[in-house]
Amino acid sequence: MTHLDDETLALLALGEERASSEQEQHLATCDRCAAELDSLTRLVDVGRSSRDVEIVQPRPEVWQRIHAELGLSATVAEVPVSDGPADVAPLAVELAPVDASARGGHAHAAPHRRRPRRPSRAVIWAVAAAALVIGLVGGVIGTALVSSTPAPRLVAEAKLDPFPTWNASGSARVEETPSGSRSVVVDLQAPSGGLREVWLMDPDTSGLVSLGLLSGDSGQFAIPSGVDLQRYTLVDVSDEPDDGNPAHSGDSIVRGRLRAA
């Protein structure tokens, strides 16, 4: 036989129909229809277990994002819920328990004592559409949460010029998060060699604050709290021997002055 249509699968999942022997045989041999029925059955199970869950009406912008994601036409752009109670009669659909002992291991609806009114095609499609809406709403909310995180603010930047013995170049910028933490982002183009250490320098006193070792061509380094960038205005990257000495080697690769952005 041909594949089971969507309406039949939805009715089987809802418990509105019992699979015929021909349909059971098809479900036992057709992975596609069996998988679709299993998915709809799980969705119905979620609905049964969520009867006491309070449904919160999404904000209009959530529906707008769903509308845009699905590429729907302007004729259905209106938010599909209203502020007031819906003026419709309750739907007389009795959800029967699911019999998981069907032939071939595929769950289908078991018979029940009272035959409820057959649901409309709109209700049947709502079962399938609910899964899509749940996934889309979750994605929209997750995207909104990520995009709502404020980006760090650019505080200062510097061009890093090479010292005479080095064929190098680079740049540095200071970023500050809304919480007040600061960091220096360094980009360096220089011949590979030994250890590269990043420093903040006071040009008047030659005072130094080590920020850490640069691994690769770029890196981000936290600025210790209390460091005054009005005093430590130079960013320096040095070539350091692997000798365990924490002091500056005196061999600077690049250096540049931070200027307010």
Q: Which two tokens stand for residue 13?
A: 């999942």
Task: Give me the half-sphere count of Cα atoms (radius 13 Å) on the Cβ side of residue 195.
Answer: 15
> How does residue 30 score in pLDDT terms, banded at 50, 70 and 90?
confident
The per-residue pLDDT for 27 is 85
Distance, in Å, from the CA atom of 203 to the CA atom of 206, rounded to the nearest integer, reads 5
- Residue 62, H or E segment: helix 60-70
- Looking at per-residue confidence, does 13 or 58 come out higher? 13
* DSSP character at residue 26: H
Q: Which ranges in 21-120 belong to alpha helices (H)?
A: 21-29, 31-49, 60-70
Distance, in Å, from the CA atom of 158 to the CA atom of 141, rounded to the nearest integer, reads 38
Is the Cβ–Cβ distance between 156 and 260 less than 8 Å? yes
Closest CA to 210 of 188, 191, 235, 193: 235
* Average pLDDT value over all residues in the chain: 76
The per-residue pLDDT for 229 is 95
Is the Cβ–Cβ distance between 259 and 157 less than 8 Å? yes
Sign of CA dihedral 128, 129, 134, 140: positive
Name which CATH class applies to 153-260. mainly beta
CA dihedral 203, 206, 212, 215 (to 10 degrees): 70
- Residue 126, H or E segment: helix 121-147
The per-residue pLDDT for 200 is 97
Is the Cβ–Cβ distance between 228 and 202 less than 8 Å? no
- Looking at 26-40, 46-60, 149-163, 221-235, which range is the least confident one? 46-60
Domain residue ranges of the chain, discontinuous segments joined by +: 6-147, 153-260
Question: What does the pLDDT look like over 165-197, one tens digit per residue?
Answer: 999 999 999 999 999 999 999 999 999 878 999
Rounded average pLDDT over 76-104? 48
The per-residue pLDDT for 45 is 75
Distance, in Å, from the CA atom of 91 to the CA atom of 126, rounded to the nearest integer, reads 13
Question: What does the pLDDT look like over 98-155, one tens digit per residue?
Answer: 444 443 444 444 444 444 444 454 545 555 555 555 555 455 545 555 555 678 999 9
Percent of the chain with pLDDT over 90: 37
pTM of the entire predicted model = 0.46
